[in-house]
A and B are shown apart, each in its own frame.
Chain A
């Protein structure tokens, strides 16, 4: 197989070029082959809704009660009481620093005037987290005890986590109808998988001796579970609660896109659509603060180490007393009940003015950055050098002579690689040259399809190749191939940039402590930030468009690339490094000859996560005007068109899964070669 590989790559390149140049009917997937399943999907869904609709409507009605109750409660409670509860939770979870952070965050929400919206968001999270944790725990325990159940549960989780969050909303919207229930159900669906994984992981990681000690103590099977396994796995499960909370929050925010919730996510979207950037940034910052506070509080409880039992008064009792005191005080002081209007300060207009000033005065710079990136990087990959190079964009036309020059530019490194004996590399350079010449969106469907399937085969074998063939086949038959290629292009460019920059930054951070200290909190912030919010600053400066989307995707997906690289480089076996230093490696040699090769599996996992993050952000980025599957999902959601949205959602999941499996396989193979194990950051 390895012998034939270069020939196959060359053959595919030739096929692509031939089909492209002939511009014949074979370049485009025949319309008559497209089955367009959207109508039949809609029919099926309508039929389904007609039968079970009332049931779901009733369920939705039931689910609205707890949310309504929680919202009423949080709205009715004096702000001072809610705030003191949250601040004290922060204190108990991890100490006074977190208490101060929580206090400042809450203060910000109140001052900016988003208290009531924030409480509405919090109310849904408050209801959805226990539901998601309960569901996740149940499935986790089932999966732990039954191998058969686990074999069913795990792929379901994969699917739930790779289907873009937007795509969930659609069936839920159709089943339950408009209302807060959609956000609740969607966030439960989206947030329970991490709980399942952590439950199984935690229960499995309990040392055998602890189980045996429990058995020897004479536990009944029930006691063994509740008194031994569960408490011993507690920490991992609390980490699951932390992840579940974050996922629930981000989905609640995303779900606000369907409206009717009057929560903070809705506020961001509203203002963003009205181009009120000051307001949307302020509101976005509220979301980020809620996310960070919730993350740190739940993470604090998860990692809290038990100390010797304090002899002093119980901290929970003291806290309860403080809250009671604040409650009584707020009965007397009206300012503690409802945040007074006069205390609200709105800097948004000033911010809008400042932004306008910047955008107007630095317009040339901004345009220059945007255009050069667009004309010289994005367009060539999208429509190929053959189309992108024109007097209007590059300042000259692609004459036959220049085409010949291009062929030489590609041929030289290919021949050099061939001379060195890297036959496969040479063939891949040729393939790259051909694809760049044609452009992704102009690639005839057949060679592109075959290239993708064959890549799957090369990286992880026949199983994935068959899966990829079927999945990509679905995209063709469903008629979303062009949109898929657009997604592939945008995500591909973003991932390439993010991965390159991220790896370099990761290497730098692993070698330089200061850099590591500086970028770590930035990465934490980017990761806890709900996806919407990341869009805001880019939209403010670069307006709506593909370039803005690209920047947002890069900003979000660069984080894992940095993290995994740094982590991989920092956690190598000491013995190997010492051995390398002893034989006299310079720092550069140590990095390039020892550390990087050993850290490759970790870096590959970083690439994997970069791709997954990129695809996740792609859907959100559709909000600022991209074409592709993300936009289709958005359209489906907007029109309530189940078929369109679902097809695009499945399409996205197909792309995500293929990319995921391919990169995982490479990383795993490398790990096995090195005899190292690497599980994640």
Chain B
């Protein structure tokens, strides 16, 4: 899925700001200011990104940054004002309402922050709901829904109603429902934000487990930078409706484009982000008494090994090629340097 120059403007006459519908403007920032000065609200400003097949693409931003509007534009629950949204080479913005419904029925699934469960349906019927509206016979849809319920681990709660479930359980229902049609695109709008921290962590693990199994193309919205780091293959940071930076989490931490992105990365414990590769000293070579670790091991995971191997740890890449050695002092120096950088 690709998103090209997508704009969403609220106000009296939002179309007036765009000559044609593709949303390309020479300077997005000045154009957005112009629109704001005309008493319109810019929720998304010239947003472009690609979601690769099978990857988790996270959109991160604070409240009011336009991230929720953006994910709704992708399925046209919110109608974008201008731009293009390409799915399998087809521009979604040009398809008819009827075709759009077909897209939603077969290609997309969405999970909501406050679950969005139907209060009048029990768990089984909630999960079967997308199948019901397609007109799939009762027995078949119930069987498929049952499979989804097993997938998210809610067996035995099929006859419960949403209000009888805990938040975590309700969101499992939401997840099962969004997967019931076996969509290609999976949208999750702050799915774990309404949950307690402990449950949130569990659900993140669950989510990653599901994704390893299902390999969907995912757009995941969150306001929690650490959550984004945990799950993202790639991520975009949004501010005032515009994308500030797109990249792998580590790119954002090591090379933030501006002070805004850096604000987020400051809070990130470096030992979780920096890997053995980043601190390996190529001048050191293997010696007896050294431990061994792969290049992608985080510094946090490296610490126990350093504690037991005073001589240090030798780092190899996935092919077994030696990249260099790491000692406790190297790690401390790297973390201290990062800290100094952050305080300066």
Contacts and interface: CB of A to CB of B under 8 A. Distances in A.
B72 interface: yes
A212 B118 contact: no
B102 A213 contact: no
Contacts of A231: 118-121
A213 B77 CA distance: 10
Nearest to B98: A220
A227 interface: yes
B297 interface: no
A220 B132 CA distance: 12
B104 A308 contact: no
B112 A209 contact: yes
Nearest to B174: A213
A219 interface: yes
A212 B129 contact: no
B130 interface: yes
Of A217, A218, A308, most B-chain CB atoms within 10 Å: A217
A220 B101 CA distance: 7
A234 B121 CA distance: 12
Of A215, A216, A306, most B-chain CB atoms within 10 Å: A216
Interface residues of A, number: 23
B104 A217 contact: yes
B134 A216 contact: no
A309 interface: yes
B114 interface: yes
A207 interface: yes
Contact of A227 (B75, B108, B133): B133
Contacts of B187: 216
Given A218-B102, A218-B104, A308-B160, A209 B122 contact: no
Given A308-B159, A308-B164, A213 B116 contact: yes
Contacts, number: 82
Interface string A132-165: 0000000000000000000000000000000000
Nearest to B103: A218
A232 B120 contact: yes
B110 A216 contact: yes
Of A207, A218, A227, A228, most B-chain CB atoms within 10 Å: A218
Contacts of A217: 104-105, 129-130, 133, 177, 181
A319 to B, nearest CB: 22
Contacts of B108: 216
Contacts of B106: 218
B220 interface: no
Contacts of A308: 122, 159-161, 164
B117 interface: yes
A525 interface: no
A216 B109 contact: yes
Of B108, B120, B177, most A-chain CB atoms within 10 Å: B120
12 contacts: A212-B110, A212-B116, A213-B110, A216-B77, A216-B109, A216-B130, A217-B105, A217-B181, A218-B106, A234-B120, A308-B160, A309-B122
Given A214-B129, A218-B133, A234-B120, 10 more contacts: A209-B114, A213-B116, A216-B109, A216-B110, A217-B105, A217-B130, A218-B101, A306-B120, A306-B122, A308-B160
Closest 9 CB pairs of A and B: A218-B105, A213-B116, A209-B116, A217-B130, A231-B120, A218-B104, A216-B110, A209-B112, A308-B159
Interface of B: 72, 75, 77, 101-102, 104-106, 108-110, 112-122, 129-130, 132-134, 159-161, 163-164, 174, 177-178, 181, 187
